[in-house]
Amino acid sequence: MNICIVGTGYVGLVAGTCLSDFGMNVICVDNDKKKISRLKKGEVPIYEIGLEQLIKRNIKLGRLRFSTDLEEAVKRSLVIFIGVGTPENEDGTSNMSYVHEVAREIGRAMNDYKVIVMKSTVPVGTSRELRKIIRESQTEPNDFDVVSNPEFLREGAAVNDFLRPDRIVIGSDSERALAIVKDIYRPLYLLETPIISTTNETAEMIKYASNTMLALKISFINEIANLCDHVGADVYDVARAVGMDKRIGSKFLHPGPGFGGSCFPKDVNAIVSLAKKVGYDFRLGNTINEVNLRQKETVVEKSRELLGSFDGKTVTLLGLSFKPETDDVRESPALHIAQRVKEEGGMVRAYDPAAMDEAKKALPDVKYCSSYPEACDGADLIIITTEWHEFRDLDFDKIKEKARTLNLYDTRNIYKAQDIRDKGFAYICTGRN
Ligand SMILES: NC(=O)c1ccc[n+]([C@@H]2O[C@H](COP(=O)([O-])OP(=O)(O)OC[C@H]3O[C@@H](n4cnc5c(N)ncnc54)[C@H](O)[C@@H]3O)[C@@H](O)[C@H]2O)c1
């Protein structure tokens, strides 16, 4: 089957590569010329485990191509996946301009029956909107169907998640389109991956509901962690015991400096905006956002308390990405903390195994270092902001030689307090103080 994927970001590139690995002929299209020319050479613009090998293999086998020519890609494909960004507008709604632009281009390029699969996270009702835009853009009448197929992969584990998903959601009112998209996922069906066939609207809602639930779980355990600090309880044991209840589950019960990334903050805002549009006050969404912002601020407050003030002090951030195994710094708590420290007269030194280039674009006024010992040079406070493997076994003797004051704030609860205090550090963490 010939497939086109529009957008070669985290979702489009991983989906396109994995589908080519299933044996399909895939053209990945992007309007970013630089990205496409790098991909053509087998260079991978994002940090994602296992992706480079898969791309190289499928380019070699002739099943995976990269192009900037959407028209040609649409003409030769039966199925067109849309995986472009849907970033947040200032008012919290989703910016649908990229999706709409692609829909118009697809409409103009159509030369036969096509299945348009919406993979980006989009507001409920988008499929209906797309049908209208595509129909109005067509230069010749051709049949088409719109399918909603939200993506649930996690950055940092994207290839594995795409190849071994918990479920596949396919929303459509067309039996024909449903059968075609199910056929694409047949290799996963053979692994007994559940397929949920539903309406477009329900599929669109499932994605928002899933991300809101995950964001809620993180905010919930962060609230419990803060309370633990006040009452002298240990959030690690609380979360462990709570998570053993099968009705709750243990995943996403790890406290930290707040959630970030390109999805949770924007998707929670989007569901709140969606509710507002239809006259429903979705209070839980607003609360999740408030709690998350407060959590990032809690890190700033606890750091300030430890130092007296940030003025003239050096704060070292270990980790810049919003979570390990990714170079994505969008909405990363580390960037929020760095910004706040600088606003209050502090200096920030930072090290991250993968996300430095991305962080430099977002926050140039930070001293980026090539190793964690270098980042700790002259530090008054070291904050572990991302739980990269490299930070799980820090060489504290080396850090002691470099740091000015031995203060460690382990926002991710990697270490045991007593172990670090025994090494001569003042140690704080999240919900175990
Ligand atoms: N990143 C994730 O972990 C994740 C997971 C699930 C769902 N999603 C959703 O998937 C969508 C894409 O997310 P992402 O993180 O892959 O985005 P991204 O920003 O990494 O990539 C989007 C790509 O689309 C390209 N693009 C934009 N307009 C285009 C056009 N007109 N023609 C061709 N290409 C165009 C951009 O150049 C970019 O390469 C979003 O809706 C997001 O919410 C993301």
Same fold, 2-198 and 289-429: yes
- pLDDT confidence band for 190 (50 / 70 / 90): confident
CATH 3.30.1490.190 for the 2-198 domain, yes or no: no
**pLDDT at residue number 276:** 95
Structure confidence by residue, pLDDT tens digits, 224-240:
999 999 999 999 999 99
- pLDDT confidence band for 212 (50 / 70 / 90): very high
- pLDDT confidence band for 433 (50 / 70 / 90): confident
β-sheet bridge partners, residue 66: 28
Distance 98 CA to ligand 1 centre (A): 9
Mean residue pLDDT of the chain comes to 97
Section 214-224 average pLDDT: 98
β-sheet bridge partners, residue 6: 29, 82
**pLDDT at residue number 359:** 97
Which amino acid, residue 201? E
**Is 263 known to be catalytic?**
yes
> Measuring from atom 10 of ligand 1, which residue has the nearest CA?
120
Q: Catalytic residue among 4, 28, 263, 429, which?
A: 263
Q: Do 363 and 338 contact (CB within 8 A), yes or no?
A: yes
Residue 318 pLDDT more than 90? yes
Section 214-225 average pLDDT: 98
Distance 136 CA to ligand 1 centre (A): 24
- pLDDT confidence band for 189 (50 / 70 / 90): confident
> Measuring from atom 30 of ligand 1, which residue has the nearest CA?
31
Positive or negative, the CA dihedral 178, 179, 185, 190 is positive
Substitution site in 35, 84, 263, 267 for ligand 1 pocket (most atoms within 8 Å of beta carbon): 84
> Measuring from atom 15 of ligand 1, which residue has the nearest CA?
10
> Measuring from atom 44 of ligand 1, which residue has the nearest CA?
11
Substitution site in 30, 159, 331 for ligand 1 pocket (most atoms within 8 Å of beta carbon): 30
- pLDDT confidence band for 188 (50 / 70 / 90): very high
- pLDDT confidence band for 191 (50 / 70 / 90): confident
Substitution site in 262, 266, 329 for ligand 1 pocket (most atoms within 8 Å of beta carbon): 262
Section 84-112 average pLDDT: 96
Q: Is 70 helix (H, G, I), strand (E, B) or coil?
A: helix
**pLDDT at residue number 42:** 86
d(CA 85, CA 96): 8
Other beta carbons within 10 angstroms of residue 386's beta carbon come to 29
Percent of the chain residues topping a pLDDT of 90: 97
Name all residues whose Cβ lies below 6 A of ligand 1.
6-12, 29-32, 35, 83-86, 98, 101-102, 120-121, 151, 153, 155, 262-263
Contacts of 287 (CB under 8 A, 6+ apart): 219
Other beta carbons within 10 angstroms of residue 283's beta carbon come to 10
CATH architecture of 289-429: 3-Layer(aba) Sandwich (3.40)
Structure confidence by residue, pLDDT tens digits, 331-356:
999 999 999 999 999 999 999 999 99
Ligand 1 closest atom vs CA 121: 41
Which amino acid, residue 97? S
**pLDDT at residue number 233:** 98
Structure confidence by residue, pLDDT tens digits, 16-63:
999 999 999 999 999 999 999 999 988 999 989 999 999 999 999 999
Distance 344 CA to ligand 1 centre (A): 35
Structure confidence by residue, pLDDT tens digits, 351-395:
999 999 999 999 999 999 999 999 999 999 999 999 999 999 999
- Inter-CA distances, 363 with 231, 384, 392, Å: 37, 18, 25
Ligand 1 closest atom vs CA 68: 33
pTM above 0.85, yes or no: yes
d(CA 188, CA 23): 13
Q: How far is CA 401 from the centre of its chain?
A: 36
- CA end-to-end span of the chain: 57
**pLDDT at residue number 207:** 98
- Inter-CA distances, 114 with 150, 180, 282, 288, 412, Å: 19, 10, 37, 39, 47
Section 71-91 average pLDDT: 97
- pLDDT confidence band for 132 (50 / 70 / 90): very high
Give me the residue spans of the domains in the chain: 2-198, 289-429
Quickly list DSSP for 338-369.
Answer: HHHHHHTT-EEEEE-SS-HHHHHHH--SSEE-
